[in-house]
Structures are given as C-alpha cells and as structure tokens.
C-alpha cells in the first residue's frame, strides 16, 4: 500500500532533521535558511513491531521483512502560502498528495536558528499553518459551490443538492478558522468533497521539537501545544529531532543502547512517532510466517480476507478460496503453526472474515 505521510511546518523548525532521522532510504539537506527544501524528499520507513521479532524468534526464517510507510519532507510553509507566497502553491500541492500530516512545531529557544515569526509561540505557529491550509480549502470549496449551485437550487438534481449542502457546511466551518477534519462529516457525506482533496481534512500528528533538557518531561511550549492538540483530539509527541538523528546514525546496537540509556530512553522516540503515524492512517498489520521469511503486511482497518490477500498479489484476491488464520497470541503460546493446528487454534475463514490486527495468515487461492 503506497500510503504517504507528509512532514510540514514553518521554515527551520526541524522538518528535514526529523526526516533524516526517520527515513531508511533517503536523506534531506538540513540547513539554517529559508526554503532549504524545495522539491519534496521521499523516504521509506520501517514500522517497528515487536510481534514481528517474536515470530522470527519462533520460526527462525531466512529473512525478516517489516511493513513500511512513505515519509515525505515538504518545504516550509509561510504566511500567505495559500496566495502563492514562498512558492506556496507548489508546497500546498505537495501536501495535497499525502494521506496524513506530521506537523513539526518548534518548542525550544535558540538564537542561532533563524526565525521570522518573533518570539517562540508554538500555538501561533500551528495556527499559521492551519490558516493557510484552511484558506486554500475554502477556495476549492467555493469554486465547486459555484459550479453546482444552479443544479442544486433550480434543478431536480438531488445529488447536486446534497453535495451543495455539504459544501455549504464546509464553507461555513472553514470561515470560522476550523479544519474540515473536525467537522465530523459522515461516510455518506464525504464523497461530496472527495474530488477536492482538501488539505485540512487530512489527519494530523503534532511533533513538539524540544531541546535536550525537555526530551523526557516537555516544557512550557510543548505543554501549551498539548492543550491545543487535546482540544482537537489529535495526537502529539515530544521529541528532540537532533538527538533522534544522532541515534539513527549509530549502527552498533550496543552503542545505540548506551546512547539511549544516557538520555534515559528505553527506545528511540522515532519508534513512537512511526507507530503513531501508522495508527493515524488507520492501518493494521497481519503476518505471514514461514522458513523463507516472516513478513508484516499493511492493510486498512476493517478489510476482509480477500482484500488483505491482495496486498501480497492481486491474484490472491481474484482466486481467493479460504484463509488459514492463527491469532498472534495463540501462535506465541503454542510456538509453531503445527502446534497451533494440533491444538485446534488454526481457523479456516472465508471471504467475509474481517482480518484482525496481528493475525498470522496463509491464503488458499486458485487462479
């Protein structure tokens, strides 16, 4: 599944540093000047999952393959981006293409790092980005309203009227300075705006980039941002992006463990970030386990067995017959597929089975 999470924020808040820390396959230039990043950098990120490691301990496969998501480092937005300021149209277009947003916000003092917005104010910084996304969305919504208004008002087109009513609600909401993701549109209403690829409807994860002294406890800036995130029912994580980048550069496992211990960390903060981004996209994981490989596969929550099979190969969905399913807890308890089968813990499921997070699966199919 080619799902992307975009890293956004004002210039010089630590976006490219975070991207470099989190990405397995690409590195971005991180410098102290405006628009250091022009074209978006794209990298693949392994999703840490202890269940995969546990299965590998039991099966002892030739290789272990984690699931991945794509992270996109998007250039810093500025005030007026919705009107084209600072190459705004280009950067907003980059955001339009991603599925979710990691919004990096500066929560530390450092006079050596360029800042154009005056005193450190994470809540205000967040609102600057929100406003630009909302203004661009308002423009898109009003254009479509003008296009279908006649059909909705004077015609007998029920579909157009229903779409217009949804667009009107979005317009009024955006004019109040609120993001569409907070409007609470139903599954039936969402198709009315699906073709607009709105920016402010995308789920968001806030990253409070703090100084080293605040990595474990946060600070006054991150606390202020947390209150706003809580009000939105959004996730927020406190990180020091520079330290996370240093952790990533350590190749020796013992050196990495020692480094983590020095900072009082049990794992890299990036692990929490990646898991949160995965959750933000409403994703779930199932596993295949054999001598050749133990592998994690990404699906959307609620997918049925044939859809889940399609991420391995489309033929698996087309020719789906049955799925052999073992719950992860049962696999660990009994220690092998054969033992689970003997204990009656291997189930045969059909086309209507909704795959549970952590299922260990084998598909029967016929092409």
For the stretch 101-151, pLDDT in tens is: 999 999 998 876 666 667 889 999 999 999 989 998 999 999 999 998 888
168, 257: one domain:
no
Q: Please tell me which residue, 14 or 81, carries the higher pLDDT value.
A: 14
Q: How many folded domains does the chain comprise?
A: 3
Q: Is residue 292 included in any domain, yes or no?
A: no
Q: Is residue 122 included in any domain, yes or no?
A: no
Q: Is residue 287 included in any domain, yes or no?
A: no
315, 330: one domain:
yes
145, 236: one domain:
no
Q: Is residue 272 included in any domain, yes or no?
A: yes
22, 94: one domain:
yes
Q: Is residue 242 included in any domain, yes or no?
A: yes
Residue 311 assigned as binding residue: no
Q: Provide the mean pLDDT of the chain.
A: 87
Residue 16 assigned as binding residue: yes
Q: Please tell me which residue, 76 or 209, carries the higher pLDDT value.
A: 209
Q: Please tell me which residue, 94 or 229, carries the higher pLDDT value.
A: 229
351, 212: one domain:
no
Q: Is residue 288 included in any domain, yes or no?
A: no
Looking at 181, 196, 211, the residue that finishes a domain is: 196
155, 220: one domain:
no
Residue 266 assigned as binding residue: no
Q: Please tell me which residue, 249 or 59, carries the higher pLDDT value.
A: 59
Torsion of CA 332, 337, 341, 343, to 10 degrees: -30
Residue span of the structural domain in which 183 resides: 129-196
For the stretch 154-207, pLDDT in tens is: 767 788 899 999 999 999 999 999 999 999 999 999 999 999 999 999 999 999
Q: How far apart are CA 346 and CA 326, in angstroms?
A: 5
State the pairing for strand pair 4-8/100-106.
Answer: parallel
Residue 13 assigned as binding residue: yes
For the stretch 315-342, pLDDT in tens is: 999 999 999 999 999 999 999 999 999 9
24, 161: one domain:
no
Q: What is the mean pLDDT of residues 86-96?
A: 66
- Residue 265 — pLDDT band, cuts 50, 70, 90? confident
170, 319: one domain:
no
Q: Is residue 86 included in any domain, yes or no?
A: yes
Residue 17 assigned as binding residue: yes
Phi-psi region of 363 (alpha: psi -120 to 50; beta: other; left: phi over 0): beta
* CATH code of the domain in which 41 resides: 3.40.50.300
96, 19: one domain:
yes
From the list 319, 311, 315, the residue with the least C-alpha distance to 355 is 311
pTM: 0.84
Q: How far apart are CA 316 and CA 296, in angstroms?
A: 16
Residue 294 assigned as binding residue: no
From the list 241, 231, 230, 233, the residue with the least C-alpha distance to 208 is 241
Reply yes or no on whether the pLDDT at 37 is more than 50.
no
* Assigned token pair, 227: 């209150």
9, 71: one domain:
yes
- Exposure letters 19-34 (e unless 16+ CB within 10 A, then b): bbbbbeeeebebeeee
Q: How far apart are CA 317 and CA 307, in angstroms?
A: 6
From the list 246, 265, 252, 266, the residue with the least C-alpha distance to 18 is 246
137, 221: one domain:
no
Burial class (CB in 10 A: 0-12, 13-18, 19+), 102: buried
Looking at 169, 196, 223, the residue that finishes a domain is: 196
110, 23: one domain:
yes
Q: Which helix (H) or strand (E) holds 133?
A: helix 122-154
Q: What is the pLDDT of residue 252?
A: 87
Q: Is residue 26 included in any domain, yes or no?
A: yes
Rounded to 5 degrees, φ, ψ at 314 are -60, -30
């Amino acid at each position: 599944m080619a799902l992307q999470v975009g890293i956004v924020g004002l210039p010089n808040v630590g976006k490219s540093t975070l991207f470099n820390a989190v990405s397995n396959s690409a590195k971005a230039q991180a410098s102290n000047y405006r628009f250091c990043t022009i074209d978006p950098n794209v990298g693949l990120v392994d999703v840490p999952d202890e269940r995969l490691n546990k299965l590998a301990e039991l099966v002892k496969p030739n290789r272990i393959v984690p699931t991945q998501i794509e992270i996109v480092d998007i250039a810093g937005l500025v005030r007026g981006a919705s009107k084209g300021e600072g190459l705004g149209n280009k950067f907003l277009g980059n955001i339009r293409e991603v599925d979710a947003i990691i919004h990096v916000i500066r929560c530390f003092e450092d006079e050596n790092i360029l800042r154009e917005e005056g005193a450190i104010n994470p809540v205000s910084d967040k609102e600057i980005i929100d406003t630009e996304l909302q203004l661009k969305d308002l423009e898109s919504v009003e254009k479509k309203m003008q296009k279908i208004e006649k059909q909705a008002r004077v015609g007998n087109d029920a579909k157009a009227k229903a779409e217009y009513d949804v667009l009107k609600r979005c317009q009024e909401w955006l004019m109040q300075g609120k993001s569409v993701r907070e409007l609470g549109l139903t599954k039936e209403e969402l198709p009315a705006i699906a073709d607009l690829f709105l920016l402010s409807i995308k789920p968001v994860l806030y990253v409070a980039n703090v100084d080293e002294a605040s990595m474990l406890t946060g600070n006054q800036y991150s606390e202020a941002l947390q209150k706003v995130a809580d009000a939105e029912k959004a996730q927020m994580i406190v990180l020091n992006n520079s330290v996370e980048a240093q952790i990533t550069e350590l190749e020796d496992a013992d050196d990495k463990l020692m480094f983590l211990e020095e900072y009082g960390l049990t794992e890299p903060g990036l692990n929490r970030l990646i898991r949160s981004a995965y959750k933000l996209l409403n994703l779930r994981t199932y596993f295949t386990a054999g001598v050749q490989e133990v592998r994690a596969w990404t699906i959307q929550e609620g997918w049925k067995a044939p859809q889940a099979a399609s991420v391995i190969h489309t033929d698996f969905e087309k020719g789906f017959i049955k799925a052999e399913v073992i719950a992860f807890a049962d696999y660990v308890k009994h220690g092998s597929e054969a033992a689970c089968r003997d204990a009656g813990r291997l189930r045969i499921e059909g086309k209507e089975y909704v795959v549970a997070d952590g299922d260990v699966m084998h598909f029967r199919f016929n092409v």
